[in-house]
């Protein structure tokens, strides 16, 4: 169904042409003397005018300039006053002008802050000669989840464990030469002890102090 707002001259002339053709067909059926003498020229002239009009309006309608895609996009994105990069409420911000345009804020470093809750990782190594000691006797970390990772290049098995305030006592897996043991825990400010829980290793000096600020 064609809406009234969409009706053009092409539609009007086309409808008239159809009605004219139906009228001629009906007269030809009902009246044997149709067309009357001299009337054929008039009929042909009217028909030619209607056909020419339909063709002309069809060409004119098809060549009307349609809005370009970029113009439609600009209208959709343009929400604020002319010259402003801030759209009105509900308008779509243009690419590169929003909060996530990749530009650093004035006075900022341009780097994203670390994800909340990410563990701080501390590295340790056992003595490669087999002596019962770590390569570091003290470590420090910030408040939050802390992960201690122990590399074991020693010929004897080791692990990494941690104990501290509040009854904290966690042990990592015991691994042979070439293995990696790790332990993690949410830590508050205070002093903690990391150690190897393999029997006799801590007593032989395989421990250190972790300070959490």
* Residue 91 within any structural domain of the chain: no
Q: Are residues 204 and 130 in the same domain?
A: yes
* Residue 46 within any structural domain of the chain: yes
141-150: average pLDDT: 96
* Residue 108 within any structural domain of the chain: no
The pLDDT, as a whole number, for residue 184 is: 95
pLDDT tens per residue, range 82-135: 544 555 555 555 555 555 554 544 444 444 544 456 889 999 999 999 999 999
* Residue 115 within any structural domain of the chain: no
H helices present in the chain, as ranges:
9-30, 39-62, 69-77
The pLDDT, as a whole number, for residue 109 is: 46
The pLDDT, as a whole number, for residue 45 is: 74
Domain residues for the domain of 196 are 120-212
Q: Of 47, 62, 77, which residue constitutes the final position of a domain?
A: 62
* Residue 26 within any structural domain of the chain: yes
**Does residue 35 have a cis peptide bond before it, meaning omega lies within 30 degrees of 0?**
yes
Q: How many domains does the chain have?
A: 2
Q: What is the pTM of this model?
A: 0.46
Sequence-ordered list of residues with C-beta below 8 angstroms from that of 20, at least 6 positions apart, any chain: 46, 47, 50
The pLDDT, as a whole number, for residue 113 is: 45
* Residue 74 within any structural domain of the chain: no
Q: Are residues 57 and 128 in the same domain?
A: no
Q: Are residues 125 and 204 in the same domain?
A: yes
Structure tokens at 98: 């929003």
Mean pLDDT of the residues in the chain? 77
Q: Is the pLDDT of residue 48 over 80?
A: no
* Residue 202 within any structural domain of the chain: yes
Q: Are residues 132 and 53 in the same domain?
A: no
Q: What percent of the chain has pLDDT over 70?
A: 68
The pLDDT, as a whole number, for residue 5 is: 54
Q: Is the pLDDT of residue 72 over 90?
A: no
The pLDDT, as a whole number, for residue 123 is: 96
- Euclidean distance between CA atoms 69 and 77, whole angstroms: 12
Q: Are residues 138 and 205 in the same domain?
A: yes
Q: Are residues 45 and 129 in the same domain?
A: no
Q: Are residues 207 and 129 in the same domain?
A: yes
Between 103 and 43, the more confident residue is: 43
The pLDDT, as a whole number, for residue 102 is: 46
* Residue 130 within any structural domain of the chain: yes
């Amino acid at each position: 169904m064609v809406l009234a707002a969409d009706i053009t001259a092409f539609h009007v002339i086309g409808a008239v042409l159809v009605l004219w053709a139906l009228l001629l067909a009906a007269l030809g059926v009902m009246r044997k003397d149709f067309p009357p003498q001299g009337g054929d020229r008039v009929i042909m002239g009217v028909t030619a005018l209607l056909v020419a009009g339909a063709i002309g309006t069809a060409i004119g309608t098809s060549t009307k300039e349609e809005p370009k895609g970029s113009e439609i996009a600009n209208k959709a994105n343009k929400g604020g006053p002319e010259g402003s990069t801030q759209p009105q409420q509900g308008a779509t911000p243009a690419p590169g002008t929003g909060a996530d345009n990749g530009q650093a804020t004035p006075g900022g470093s341009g780097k994203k802050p670390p994800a909340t809750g990410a563990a701080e990782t501390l590295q340790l190594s056992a003595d490669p000669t087999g002596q019962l000691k770590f390569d570091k006797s003290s470590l420090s970390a910030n408040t939050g989840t802390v992960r201690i990772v122990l590399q074991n290049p020693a010929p004897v098995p080791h692990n990494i464990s941690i104990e501290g305030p509040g009854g904290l006592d966690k042990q990592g897996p015991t691994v042979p030469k070439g293995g990696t043991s790790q332990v993690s825990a949410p830590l508050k400010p205070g002093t903690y002890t990391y150690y190897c829980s393999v029997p006799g290793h801590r007593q032989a000096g395989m421990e250190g102090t972790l300070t959490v600020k």
